[in-house]
């Protein structure tokens, strides 16, 4: 549970904005379990302005071919300090610190043939020409060579020294140009993290991850994306019912298939593509309840994409509902049990309680059908977790694109 800078700022987030969000989370959300502050893509790019990348623009890099923060955007990184001071600040607030990286080694390191810590080999020796189709920063790493693993080891040694608790690695869980996943580099990254002896969450992007790789992901990573970038449209949200149903059997402690960020509240401040620009979420309130119900009963990671300092009361209420969060943290099994053109039903259970989520995916407000009540609720009253009160289940009206979340 945390905040990621992408939906607000794209590639351009600045240190003062990260600190501002960390301060808000510590004061207002930490007590509810929200704890990660994640700096998303291209923090080494000095001139990043939006969600659009400046192709082949020079990045900040150290003498060992490792990207480091752009000092004009992250002033505390001057004099080779990297993210250490920012990480220390976030930790001082009782929170955890995360960063985004791209798979591979910087192209500029390969073109300049710069050094690699711990070996006489240089950047050009370990590079593969397996590039990302949507970002120009990196070449792949040949991890069949011992020196390829040495490079990744040096990279994660650096991140651990900064106090990083969470790594989102991109262009790796799914590839449009090569294999369905870059498994060898995933294994190398897993090995490098383990060598740091630091408990770092490993998250993979982009999606859609391939179901045939589910066991491999479980063995090597903590989170993997089920979708490409998820924005605030009903079509994208509706498709998540397919993805969550496919991946429900792979959810277990330490392995969390990832429905992607929560594009709620104020988003797109510096967005050029994807979302609708600088706007408040285009999801209706009912769609937001539906989204949060699906994400929590499926136990997807919860990474908020909107701004925190100006968050509205309704969005804040979605993130601070103790009864929903208790379900989210305690259930040990969950599955989709029913679906037709109008309704989707999920059931979940903890050691002490049973839960049912009923989703109206139709275009009309509908009363809960008697067969769904009798088959999946089985009683006349139940606890409505979003309303925090016991309700009569019979003839409950569920708005279009809305959800009813019950504790039985």
Q: Are residues 104 and 58 in the same domain?
A: yes
pLDDT over 70 (residue 273): no
Residue 178 counted as domain residue: yes
Q: Same domain, yes or no, for 73 and 186?
A: yes
The residue among 295, 320, 345 that closes a domain is: 320
390 located within any domain = yes
Looking at the fold, whether 345 and 225 belong to one and the same domain comes out as no
| pLDDT (0 to 100) of residue 25 | 98
**pLDDT for res 45:** 98
pLDDT at 395 over 90: no
Is the model's pLDDT at 268 over the cut of 80?
yes
CATH code of the domain containing 347: 2.60.40.1180
Regarding whether 234 and 155 lie in a shared domain, the answer is: yes
> How far is the CA of 61 from the CAs of 19, 33, 75, 119, in angstroms?
23, 35, 15, 18
pTM of the model: 0.96
Do 190 and 115 fall into the same domain? Answer: yes
CATH number assigned to the domain comprising residue 268? 3.20.20.70
User: For residues 14 and 247, what is the distance between their CA atoms, to the nearest angstrom?
Assistant: 35
| 159-201 tens-digit pLDDT | 999 999 999 999 999 988 887 889 999 999 999 999 999 999 9
On whether both 118 and 80 belong to a single domain, the answer is: yes
> Do residue 295 and residue 358 come from a single domain?
no
pLDDT tens for residues 294-317? 999 999 999 999 999 999 999 999
Domain boundary among 285, 320, 355: 320
Question: Does residue 229 lie within any of the structural domains?
Answer: yes
Task: Please state, for a pLDDT cut of 90, what percent of the chain lies above it.
Answer: 95
The count of domains in the chain is 2
Domain assignment present for 283: yes
Angle at 252 between CA 358 and CA 349, to 5 degrees: 40
* Structural domain that includes position 73: 2-320
Evaluate whether residue 183 is within a structural domain.
yes
Residue-level pLDDT at 116:
98
Confidence band, pLDDT 50/70/90 cuts, at residue 258: very high
């Amino acid at each position: 549970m945390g905040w990621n800078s992408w939906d607000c700022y794209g590639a351009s987030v600045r240190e003062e904005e990260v600190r501002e969000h960390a301060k808000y989370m510590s004061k207002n959300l930490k007590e509810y379990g929200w704890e990660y502050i994640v700096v998303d893509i291209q923090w080494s790019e000095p001139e990043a302005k939006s969600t659009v990348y400046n192709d082949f623009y020079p990045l900040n890099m150290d003498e060992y071919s490792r990207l480091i923060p752009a000092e004009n955007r992250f002033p505390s990184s001057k004099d080779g300090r990297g993210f250490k001071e920012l990480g220390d600040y976030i930790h001082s607030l009782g929170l955890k610190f995360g960063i985004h990286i791209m798979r591979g080694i910087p192209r500029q390191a390969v073109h300049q043939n710069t050094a690699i810590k711990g070996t006489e080999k240089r950047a050009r020796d370990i590079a593969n020409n397996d590039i990302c189709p949507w970002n120009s920063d990196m070449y792949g790493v040949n991890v069949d060579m011992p020196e390829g693993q040495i490079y990744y080891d040096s990279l994660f040694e650096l991140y651990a020294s900064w106090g990083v608790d969470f790594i989102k690695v991109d262009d790796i869980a799914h590839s449009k140009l090569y294999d369905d996943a870059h498994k060898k580099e995933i294994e190398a990254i897993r090995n490098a993290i383990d060598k740091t002896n630091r408990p770092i969450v490993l998250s993979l992007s982009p999606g859609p991850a391939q179901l045939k790789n589910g066991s491999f992901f479980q063995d090597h990573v903590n989170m993997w994306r089920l979708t490409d970038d998820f924005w605030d449209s009903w079509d994208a949200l509706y498709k998540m019912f397919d993805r969550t149903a496919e991946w429900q059997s792979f959810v277990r402690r330490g392995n969390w298939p990832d429905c992607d960020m929560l594009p709620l509240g104020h988003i797109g401040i510096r967005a050029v593509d994807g979302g609708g620009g600088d706007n408040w979420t285009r999801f209706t309130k009912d769609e937001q309840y539906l989204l949060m119900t699906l994400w929590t009963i499926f136990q997807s990671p919860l990474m908020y994409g909107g701004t925190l300092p100006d968050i509205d009361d309704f969005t804040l209420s979605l993130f601070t509902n103790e009864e929903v969060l208790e379900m989210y943290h305690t259930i040990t099994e969950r599955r989709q049990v029913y679906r037709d053109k109008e309704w989707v039903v999920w059931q979940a259970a903890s050691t002490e309680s049973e839960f049912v989520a009923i989703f109206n995916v139709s275009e009309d407000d509908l009363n809960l059908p008697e067969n769904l009540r009798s088959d999946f609720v089985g009683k006349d009253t139940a606890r409505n977790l979003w309303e925090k009160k016991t309700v009569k289940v019979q003839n409950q009206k569920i708005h279009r694109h809305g959800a009813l979340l019950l504790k039985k």
